[in-house]
Amino acid sequence: MPHDDRRRRFELLALPHLDAAYNLARWLAGNTTDAEDVVQDAYLRAFRYFDAFQGGNFRVWLLTIVRNAFMTWVKENRSSRMTFVPATPAAETADNEEIMWGSRPRDPEALLLESIDSQTLSRLMEQLPAEYREVLLLREVEDLAYKEIAEVTGVPMGTVMSRLSRARLSLRKLWLAQAETENAHGV
Amino acid sequence: MECDRAVALLPRLIDDALWPFTRLRMNRHVAGCAACAGKLEELRAMQAAIRTNLPYHRAPPGLAARIGAALPREMAPRPLRPWFRMPAFGMAGTGLAGALAGVALTVLVLGGQPGMQSDVMQEVIGSHIRSLQADHLIDVQTSDQHTVKPWLSARLDVSPQVVELKDAGFPLVGGRMDYVDGHPAAVVVYRHAKHVINLFAWASSGKADATFHTEAQQGFNIVTWRHDGITYYAVSDVEADQLSEFAHLVAQGG
């Protein structure tokens, strides 16, 4: 029963990662229906290419496929979900960090970020460009190493690091703006 | 270390991705630089916020079923109660964590070590875990041993012990077909209080009998033995002593 065996091995490996696959797809696609389509497509692809799995971290392999399935979905649906940040030369240079940080707020407001509620955090994450959102998810939620993130996203490790750094600073900026608005409205 | 260099390395510090020497230098710099220390604190706060407060979207219950239905037909020559059909599959993470949190694992395999190969063990445990995620990993649901036994016998080349142990606190729930180590296997399902016990049995003709062996793995207790050319694996998160008692009762025929 080679088919059964193959299917069984696939089940044993893929089963525990459905939530991880779905969570990534859901954050990328932005809604449940599309996320389900993406994950379904990814699992079918994974099953089809299962023999190509060379061992190693199956979750990383699967998330790579989820990511590819999402990119295909973006193309086929002409979705603007994968909005890339304009890579201006200035934004790509490392010494831009200081500018990204900006001046430190006078009050220790920024540190309140730790107590941000999940609804607000979700909203801010949604405002981030997809590639920033993606790199933050892979790093903080999936707890992947830079090298693994590079594998999933198909970019060099150096790009992962600068992207992650900019993603964090962008999120911080959004949060500060949000906090300011709240204060202005006396919330 | 200069500040601009340190600022660029802050993310790698919180991601634990610096060589020890660089980390040491960074820590030294941050200790003496309020500006960098503030940034580090903010980055850590943000990391903590995402890790604890960002909603985690679990797969919806119906998704596994949809995937199962979409898998190419020829890949599934037999309806093997695929996990795709399990409605609770979306709860995999939770169920698994709960199941694993449950216990110490102990396997009882005696003497002849009837195939305690770790891959077989993994398959058995994996099947057990899946059966916990869906309440219906049972092909024939009955508390009547006279129904379960013929049902299994008709489908397998073995006729495993199916005994009624309700009075001993192990009511029979049903049975199902499974696949372990490349062979068809019978699974007789029992309960003990809130716990599920999956009793796997498959033919291993020509092999000598083996007495009980107990082992704990991944939070489950496992008791194995071999009798009359049939290998048995009892898997559960019930306590080792009780599972051992269960195993003895089954082996004695009730």
The count of domains in chain A is 2
The range of the structural domain enclosing residue B238 comes to: 95-252
CB distance B80 to A7 below 8 Å:
yes
Q: Is A27 on the interface with B (CB under 8 A)?
A: yes
A7 exposure class (CB count in 10 Å sphere: 0-12, 13-18, 19+): buried
**pLDDT tens digits for range B9-22:** 999 999 989 988 99
Four-CA torsion B79, B83, B88, B92, nearest 10 degrees? 180
CB–CB contact B58 A111 (8 Å): no
At A62, give phi and psi (nearest 5°). Answer: -65, -40
Examine the pLDDT at B45 and tell me if it is beyond 90. no
Confidence grade of residue A138 (pLDDT, cut at 50, 70, 90): very high
Q: Is residue A12 part of a domain?
A: yes
The count of domains in chain B is 2
**Residues B117 and B47 both lie in one domain:** no
Q: Is B51 on the interface with A (CB under 8 A)?
A: yes
Q: Is residue B33 part of a domain?
A: yes
Contacts with A166 (C-beta within 8 Å, 6 or more apart), sequence order: A85, A91, A100, A132
For chain B, the first-to-last Cα distance in angstroms comes to 75
Four-CA torsion B65, B53, A163, A103, nearest 10 degrees? 160
Longest CA pairwise span in chain A (Å)? 68
What distance in Å separates the CA atoms of residue B78 and residue A5, rounded to the nearest whole number? 11
CB distance B222 to B233 below 8 Å:
yes
Residue A112 gets which letter from DSSP?
G
Q: Is residue A81 part of a domain?
A: no
pTM passes above 0.80: no
CB–CB contact B77 A3 (8 Å): yes
- Amino acid A100: pLDDT: 65
**Residues A58 and A126 both lie in one domain:** no
Q: Is B208 on the interface with A (CB under 8 A)?
A: no
CB–CB contact A98 B54 (8 Å): no
> Across chain B, what does the average pLDDT equal?
76
For chain A, the first-to-last Cα distance in angstroms comes to 65
Our measurement of the distance from residue B79's CA atom to the centroid of its chain's CA atoms, rounded to an integer in Å, reads 21
Judging contacts by C-beta atoms under 8 Å, the chain B residues touching residue A6 are 75
The least confident of A49-58, A84-93, B45-54 is A84-93
Confidence grade of residue B246 (pLDDT, cut at 50, 70, 90): very high
- Amino acid B234: pLDDT: 95
Cα distances (angstroms) measured from residue A47 to each of A4, A151, B81: 12, 19, 17
**Residues A142 and A167 both lie in one domain:** yes
Q: Is A121 on the interface with B (CB under 8 A)?
A: yes
- Decide which of A76, A104, A134 is a domain's last residue: A76
- Amino acid A82: pLDDT: 59
Confidence grade of residue B74 (pLDDT, cut at 50, 70, 90): very low
The CA distance from A111 to the nearest CA of chain B, in Å, is 6
Examine the pLDDT at A150 and tell me if it is beyond 90. yes
The range of the structural domain enclosing residue A109 comes to: 89-184
Q: In this structure, what CATH number is given to the domain that contains residue A44? A: 1.10.1740.10
Examine the pLDDT at A146 and tell me if it is beyond 90. yes
CB–CB contact A44 B12 (8 Å): no
**Residues B121 and B24 both lie in one domain:** no
**Residues A141 and A64 both lie in one domain:** no
- Amino acid A96: pLDDT: 57
**Residues B123 and B18 both lie in one domain:** no
DSSP, collapsed to helix, strand or coil, labels residue A128 as: coil
Q: Is residue A84 part of a domain?
A: no
Confidence grade of residue B130 (pLDDT, cut at 50, 70, 90): confident
**Residues A54 and A93 both lie in one domain:** no
Q: Is residue A82 part of a domain?
A: no
Report how many Cβ contacts below 8 Å link chain A to chain B.
Answer: 148
The least confident of A91-105, B121-135, B222-236 is A91-105
**Residues B42 and B109 both lie in one domain:** no
- Residue A91 has a CB neighbour count (10 Å cut-off) of 13
What distance in Å separates the CA atoms of residue B167 and residue A117, rounded to the nearest whole number? 52
The two tokens of residue A27 are: 């954050």
Residue A85 gets which letter from DSSP?
P
**Residues A95 and A179 both lie in one domain:** yes
Buried b (16+ CB within 10 A) or exposed e, B98-111: ebeebbebbbbbbe
**Residues A29 and A64 both lie in one domain:** yes
Q: Is residue B86 part of a domain?
A: no
**Residues B23 and B134 both lie in one domain:** no
- Amino acid A78: pLDDT: 66
Judging contacts by C-beta atoms under 8 Å, the chain A residues touching residue B92 are 15-16, 18-19
What distance in Å separates the CA atoms of residue A133 and residue A129, rounded to the nearest whole number? 6
Mean pLDDT of B25-40: 92
- Amino acid B138: pLDDT: 65
At B115, give phi and psi (nearest 5°). Answer: 75, 55
Examine the pLDDT at A166 and tell me if it is beyond 60. yes
Our measurement of the distance from residue A140's CA atom to the centroid of its chain's CA atoms, rounded to an integer in Å, reads 9
| Three-state DSSP string of chain B | CCHHHHHHHHHHHHCCCCCHHHHHHHHHHHHCCHHHHHHHHHHHHHHHHHHHHCCCCCCCHHHHHHHHHHCCHHHCCCCCCCHHHCHHHHHHHHHHHHHHHCCCCCEEECCCCCCCCHHHHHHHHHHHHHHHHCCCCCCEECCCHHHHHHHHHCCCCCCCCCCCEHHHCECEEEEEEEEECCEEEEEEEEEECCEEEEEEEEECCCCCCEEEEEEEECCEEEEEEEECCEEEEEEECCCHHHHHHHHHHHHHCC
**Residues A45 and A123 both lie in one domain:** no
Q: In this structure, what CATH number is given to the domain that contains residue A108? A: 1.10.10.10
- Residue A159 has a CB neighbour count (10 Å cut-off) of 17
Percent of chain B whose predicted confidence (pLDDT) is above 70: 77
Q: How many CA atoms lie within 13 A of B32 on its CB side?
A: 8
**Residues B36 and B115 both lie in one domain:** no
Four-CA torsion B181, B182, B188, B189, nearest 10 degrees? 70
Q: Is residue A119 part of a domain?
A: yes
**Residues B100 and B226 both lie in one domain:** yes
Residue from B111, B245, B246, B120 nearest B189 by CA = B246
Judging contacts by C-beta atoms under 8 Å, the chain B residues touching residue A3 are 74-77
Contacts with B52 (C-beta within 8 Å, 6 or more apart), sequence order: none
Output B44 or B220, whichever has higher pLDDT.
Answer: B44
**Residues B100 and B222 both lie in one domain:** yes
CB–CB contact B58 A22 (8 Å): yes
Confidence grade of residue A35 (pLDDT, cut at 50, 70, 90): very high
